[in-house]
């Protein structure tokens, strides 16, 4: 099992409209995508292109968003997770668990429609780590 | 002024040797570079390739490292900064200051030998932001 390309950096924001305007000023209007509600994950996501990688702005959605605690500690927002591509999330999850790393829940479809899973920051040097299958890995 | 490609993600680590071994297990031995002491910045840096972008592992160097306070709050380490490429750091610094954003100190050579500068996280949605001139921008 190998982690591959840095697909995106997840950044928590408290207000999506304000954040999109700020990123449009920094990266250009054309770099900022449309917000997508992901009710199953409790977030609204919006991708910003920054070269080969992207920034994923995530704002709380619903009353039980996993971002609520993060934003309570850091109301201005901040770096939330890193997402790396893997060939197979199922194989990566099995390998990580075999090493004693805590994978949070079971693989599920992420913002790009491919399978994703999250690994506990305490087992990844303090970095909440998402693994995802690359959209083009499905041919 | 536009921010461009995500050059790297800076991750604070408390022990470089342990971190390099962990990243070699995740990304492969060949992806992990050699550590470089940067006394002027108070860190030892080590780059890990993850596709087009890199991870910059940074560990404290010397007694007055700017990482000391970060690692006191997060002893396991964690996400420290994002670095985006710009055409001209001098022009970007002037533009950011004109918008009232706090640039920390003056541009100086970074780990890749090109000019870099840091922008205060309070003016960047909670993200400590490094801007750097791409190595190939100098022809």
Domain that holds residue A94: 6-133
CA distance B67 to B13: 9
Interchain proximity A51–B52, CB inside 8 Å? yes
Instruction: Please state the domain count of chain B.
Output: 1
Q: Where are the alpha helices (DSSP H) in chain A?
A: 16-27, 67-73, 89-98
pTM: 0.94
Q: How far is CA B67 from CA A98, B103, B110, in A?
A: 32, 18, 16
A138 within domain boundaries: no
Backbone angles phi, psi at A35, to 5 degrees: -70, 145
A1 within domain boundaries: no
Q: What is the pLDDT of residues B114-131, one digit of tens each?
A: 999 999 999 999 999 999
A75 to chain B, minimum CA–CA distance in Å? 8
Interchain proximity B3–A26, CB inside 8 Å? yes
Interchain contact A32–B (C-beta under 8 A): no
pLDDT classification of B40: cutoffs 50, 70, 90? confident
B84 within domain boundaries: yes
A16 within domain boundaries: yes
Element (H, E) at B26: helix B16-27
A139 within domain boundaries: no
A65 within domain boundaries: yes
CA distance A36 to B11: 28
Interchain contact B134–A (C-beta under 8 A): no
What CATH number has the domain bearing residue B20?
Answer: 3.10.180.10
pLDDT classification of A129: cutoffs 50, 70, 90? very high
CA distance A100 to B26: 14
Stretch A81-93: mean pLDDT: 96
pLDDT classification of B135: cutoffs 50, 70, 90? confident
Interchain contact A73–B (C-beta under 8 A): no
B37 within domain boundaries: yes
B10 within domain boundaries: yes
């Amino acid at each position: 099992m190998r982690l591959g390309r840095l697909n995106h950096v997840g950044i928590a924001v408290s207000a999506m409209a304000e954040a999109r305007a700020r990123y449009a000023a920094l990266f250009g209007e054309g770099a900022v995508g449309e917000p997508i509600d992901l009710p199953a994950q409790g977030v609204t996501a919006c991708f910003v292109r920054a070269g080969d990688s992207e920034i994923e702005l995530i704002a709380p959605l619903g009353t039980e968003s996993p971002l609520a605690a993060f934003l309570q500690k850091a109301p201005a927002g901040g770096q939330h997770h890193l997402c790396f591509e893997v060939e197979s999330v199922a194989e990566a999850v099995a390998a990580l668990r075999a090493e004693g790393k805590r994978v949070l829940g079971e693989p599920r479809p992420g913002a790009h429609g491919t399978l994703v899973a999250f690994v506990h920051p305490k087992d990844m040097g303090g970095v909440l780590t998402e693994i995802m299958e690359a959209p083009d890995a499905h041919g």
